[in-house]
Amino acid sequence: MTAKIIDGRLIAETLRAEIAREATDFRNQTGIVPHLTAVLVGDDPASAVYVKNKHLACEKAGFKSTLVRLPAETTQQELLHVVERLNADPTVHGILVQLPLPKGLAAQPILDAVSPLKDVDCFHPENVGLLSQGRPRFLPCTPSGVQQILIHEQVTVPGAHVVIVGRSDIVGRPLALMLLQKGQAADATVTVCHSRTKDLAAVARTADILVAAIGQPEFITADMVKPGAVVIDVGINRVGERLVGDVAFAAVSEVASAITPVPRGVGPMTITMLLANTLKAAKLAS
């Protein structure tokens, strides 16, 4: 068996075109341009690339995009003041604080300070709570991107056993909540594995859909995958000059029925869902 390679970039382009059309209609009706402001503290090269990609995606979709750059020496209080100023600015619809923050800055109080109505990353406790109750205001970007891939690829999710390897607040936990709920690409039976899971490989082999989001390069090997399973690789890791996912792509491709590559897999979908959330935030504010 050779797996179908799922082109996340192609799916993302299709969805971004739809978002751009919706944003144009919204602008024509209201005169409002969706506006995302990113806050970048310090000079982490990877963070700078991520912010640039988000900026370009905003421009192509007809959104306004603003970058607030702050030095690495910025204090916690100074950063809180920036967030408070953006919260109070009615022309800003979405606020994104790029992580990781430099040493000495605590991320959680900053993320908690972002207005829930502008929290387009869906990190605020209020939005996480709404998600857990099945009535989300925003959907977390990467989990939502994974769900959209499953929808686009017409993967049968209701009744399927989904194993998520990784329990982070950014991917594993919110994705589990979303897949457990009723609806499209949901109604699944979900198992979340982590560093304390006993015989993780055996659990992974029971998955109809296996999601790797553990942050360890090529952690998922072919012997951990049930033949015919759909494999979604959320990880992105640099190994020497190569970018690799959390899945040993070549070997697992010989076992799975479909697989996302790294790059061109989940990554483009994350930015796409950020655009969707920003547009929704603008509509909520109108």
pLDDT tens for 111-137 read 999 999 999 999 999 999 999 999 999
Task: Encode pLDDT of 85-114 as tens digits.
Answer: 999 999 999 999 999 999 999 999 999 999
Q: Which CATH class is domain 141-267?
A: alpha beta
Contacts 24+ apart (CB under 8 A), 194-199: 194/165, 194/166, 194/167
183: tokens are 């609806």
pLDDT of residue 46: 87
pLDDT of residue 241: 87
Domain 31-115 has CATH 3.40.50.10860: yes
Residues with catalytic function: 54, 98, 121
Q: Where are the domains of the chain?
A: 31-115, 141-267
- List the one residue out of 112, 245, 234 whose CA is nearest residue 176: 234
Residue with tokens 């995606």: 57
| pLDDT-flagged residues of the chain (< 50) | none
| Cα–Cα distance, 42 to 44 (Å, whole number) | 6
pLDDT of residue 269: 97
| Cα–Cα distance, 138 to 282 (Å, whole number) | 12
Gyration radius from the chain CA atoms: 19
- Tell me the three state secondary structure of residue 123: coil
Task: Encode pLDDT of 219-242 as tens digits.
Answer: 999 999 999 999 999 999 999 989
Domains 31-115 and 141-267 share a fold: yes
Q: Quick count: other Cβ atoms within 10 Å of Cβ 210?
A: 28
Model pTM?
0.95
190: tokens are 């979900």
16: tokens are 């971004």
| Cα–Cα distance, 255 to 282 (Å, whole number) | 44
Q: How many CA atoms lie within 13 A of 247 on its CB side?
A: 32
Q: How many CA atoms lie within 13 A of 286 on its CB side?
A: 17
| Cα–Cα distance, 227 to 27 (Å, whole number) | 48
